[in-house]
Structure 1
Amino acid sequence: MGEIFTFLGLINHSHDFIIASHVVLVALISLGLAKMATSKMQLVPSGVQNVMEAYLLAVNNMGKGIVGDELARKYLPLVATLGFIVGISNMIGIIPGFEAPTSNLNVTLTLAIIVFVYYHFEGIRANGVIHYFAHFMGPVKLLAPLMFPIEIVSHCSRLVSLSFRLFGNIKGDDLFLAVVLMLAPWIAPLPAYVLLTFAGLLQAFIFMILTYVYLAGAVLISEEH
């Protein structure tokens, strides 16, 4: 979408620069909101602190039903941060003059790789290398030579699932909004903004819940059997 106007494009027309700048912008917004929420902590929260506490509570409750209370709290910082970054990235994409970093495959693939590496790391740490990879062979030893490559392909496909789902949906939303703004720039985009806001938040929710699901599949091998 290099032909679409962006404020940062006035500095440099390179699309890589525009995406990288928006990633930095999202990081600064995230840090700013976190600072605002924690600068004056109150026993009875209000303002940004109240919103952030509600968000963290919702993410933690989401994780409880998947990995249990203890592991949900353990993985809360990772999952909540990923959801926060994805959500803000999606939201700034619907503001004219900005582009969603998550509409770029490099960004979504990076986030997917973080999840991929981390849940395998946690699975190995919780179960040991031998036990963790033995799980890939399935319960029937005779089928192990067949099951192991299938499991490897299945896990690698999660990279595609996480990255391309997010990228495809947000890229499609950006193109849809660009068309609407070109055809009817005043009244018609208002319902579209509501729809795109819901879609952006939904994609952040899906990314978080899939992260919890992948962590559960890696760590809770004994419970799975």
Structure 2
Amino acid sequence: MGEMFTFLGLINHSHDFIFVSHIVLVGVISFVLAKLATSKMQLVPSGVQNVMEAYLESVVSMGKDVIGEELARKYLPLVATLGLMVFIANVIGIIPGFEAPSSNPNMTLALALMVFIYYNFEGIRVNGVVHYFAHFMGPLKVLAPLMFPIEIVSHLSRIVSLSFRLFGNIKGDDLFLAVVLMLAPWVAPLPAYALLTFSACLQTFIFMILTYVYLAGAVLISEEH
């Protein structure tokens, strides 16, 4: 299958240029939405403000059962920003002439590393270095030599899990859409668009809920034990 047509490819055929340009485009769209939502704040929200407030409340509701309402609101800026970026990056690839940046492992790996570094930083900040890494050793000291390397590998595997789950699903969606458009460009894509939009929402939800789960496991060590 040849290179897919993109509008930005008319400017430069380099895939690196196309990829970076689409990431910048996703960032610009996210910034514009945030600016529109906060430029004219109203007591009774409407338009973009209403949509964004509903989105933020749903993110808090999502995290409340995982980490508690107080911490869900504390980490809301991180999780909501990640969710907005991932959703736009997923959906933009459904539009003919654009490419989903999240179908590139460079973007998904960068996001996964951000989550990995941040939740470990929060775990150390909240619990202290000794207490945080002590919970890697399991409930029994005799099992510590076995549990510690297993826990380290388990945490490192989260980077792969977060990044490749998102990359693999969105890349698969892009290839599926490309095949459908080649075989039946007029009628067949209509149900495919609905399916791919649902998939984009689902992958965004999974990325956000896993971020909350990892944060909960890092900062709620005392309650866990």
Tell me, yes or no, whether TM beats 0.5.
Answer: yes
Q: Kindly tell me: are residues 2 and 142 of structure 1, through their superposed partners in 2, closer, same or farther at Cα, counting changes over 3 Å?
A: farther
- Residues 2 and 15, structure 1, Cα contact 8 Å, conserved in 2: no
The question of 1:203 aligning with 2:203 is answered yes
Deviation at 1:69, TM superposition (A): 1.2
Structure 2: gaps spanning 5 or more residues: none
Structure 1: gaps spanning 5 or more residues: none
Structure 2 counterpart SS, 1:194: helix
- Residues 67 and 212, structure 1, Cα contact 8 Å, conserved in 2: yes
Residue 35 (structure 1) aligns with: 35
Deviation at 1:172, TM superposition (A): 0.1
Q: Kindly tell me: are residues 190 and 43 of structure 1, through their superposed partners in 2, closer, same or farther at Cα, counting changes over 3 Å?
A: same
Distance 2:2 2:178 in 1: 12
Tell me the percent identity.
81
- Residues 181 and 189, structure 1, Cα contact 8 Å, conserved in 2: yes
Distance 2:129 2:2 in 1: 45
Deviation at 1:2, TM superposition (A): 6.9
Distance 2:140 2:41 in 1: 54
Distance 2:129 2:163 in 1: 27
Residue 92 (structure 2) aligns with: 92
TM-score normalised by L of structure 1: 0.99
Distance 2:7 2:186 in 1: 20
Could you report, residue by residue, the CA deviation over 1:125-155 in whole angstroms, capped at 9, with x for unpaired residues?
A: 0100000001000011011001000000000
The question of 1:115 aligning with 2:115 is answered yes
For 1:71, the aligned partner's letter is L
Distance 2:173 2:3 in 1: 16
**Number of residue pairs aligned between Structure 1 and Structure 2:** 225
Distance 1:155 1:166 in 2: 18
Distance 2:187 2:212 in 1: 40
Could you report, residue by residue, the CA deviation over 1:41-66 in whole angstroms, capped at 9, with x for unpaired residues?
A: 11000010000000000001111111
Distance 2:8 2:201 in 1: 24
Distance 1:55 1:2 in 2: 38
Structure 2 counterpart SS, 1:139: coil
TM-score normalised by L of structure 2: 0.99
Residue 189 (structure 1) aligns with: 189
For 2:41, the aligned partner's letter is M
**Alignment of structure 1 residues 1-225 onto 2, 5 Å:** 3-225=3-225
Could you report, residue by residue, the CA deviation over 1:56-94 in whole angstroms, capped at 9, with x for unpaired residues?
A: 000011111111111011000000000000000000000
Runs of 4+ in 1 over 3 A off after TM superposition: none
For 1:224, the aligned partner's letter is E
Distance 2:41 2:140 in 1: 54
Could you report, residue by residue, the CA deviation over 1:130-189 in whole angstroms, capped at 9, with x for unpaired residues?
A: 000010000110110010000000000000000000000000000000000011000000
For 2:102, the aligned partner's letter is T
